[in-house]
Amino acid sequence: MREALINRKTKETEIKLELNLDEYSEGNINTGIGFFNHMLTLFAFRAGIKLNVDCKGDLEIDGHHTVEDIGICLGQAIKKAIGDKKGINRYGSSRIPMDESLALVDLSISNRSFLVFNVEMPSTRAGEFETELTKEFFLAVAHNSGITMHINLEYGRNTHHINEAIFVAFGDALKKAIRITGDVVPSTKGTLSL
């Protein structure tokens, strides 16, 4: 089983995150931010993974530390669960419509962290979630997982739908990238660890 447990405690957040890449079951996601819970649930469902997140953050300040630190933990968990990357597909692409919005996510599990994020949110909030934190979340995931991510919004008017399309597309692209398709490391270098 490709799984990982990450515990992280700082003065800003205390997080326990459990990830299983090889089985789906409805996880328990409690970030303290309802809209973010919804986004992580959509992501996990579409990725076909088991994700449990319990976070106590300094939400009396704002959601930044909570969202970014969960991104750090998710990135670390993905990297740990994938291991030496032997046999994975490596690449994943997804194009997801959500009503009037269309998001594209392309991934390479390359051990080269990079984020391209071409998304403009029409509103600064979705519920209690500050929408500028969507980029911060994915930046933290990319940096800590070693994944190159390109996230592009083709079009969209509704901030809720835009975020849904992005998180679902991320889940779908990750599902394709982590799929076992062989028994060798998918690189002509012979490694994706350097």
The answer to whether residue 133 scores a pLDDT higher than 90 is: yes
Residue of 150, 129, 130 whose CA lies nearest to 139: 150
Which of 3-7, 52-56, 80-84 comes out lowest in average pLDDT? 80-84
Which of 15, 19, 16, 14 is closest to 4 using CA atoms?
19
Query: CA Rg, the chain, in Å?
Result: 16
Q: What confidence tens digit (pLDDT) does each residue in 155-177 have?
A: 999 999 999 999 999 999 999 99
pLDDT at res. 188: 58
User: Which helix H or strand E contains 145, and what residues bound it?
Assistant: helix 133-145
The proportion of the chain whose per-residue pLDDT surpasses 90, expressed as a percent, equals 90
Kind and range of the H or E run holding 16: strand 13-20
pLDDT score of 35: 98
* Phi-psi sector, 127: left (phi>0), alpha (psi -120 to 50), beta: left
Residue with tokens 């911060």: 136
CATH numbers and ranges of domains, the chain: 3-178 (3.30.230.40)
137 within 8 A of 66, measured Cβ to Cβ: no
Q: What is the pTM of this model?
A: 0.95
> CA–CA separation, 3 vs 94, rounded Å?
23
Q: From CA 183, how far away is CA 181, in angstroms rounded?
A: 7
| Chain segment 24-48, per-residue pLDDT in tens | 999 999 999 999 999 999 999 999 9
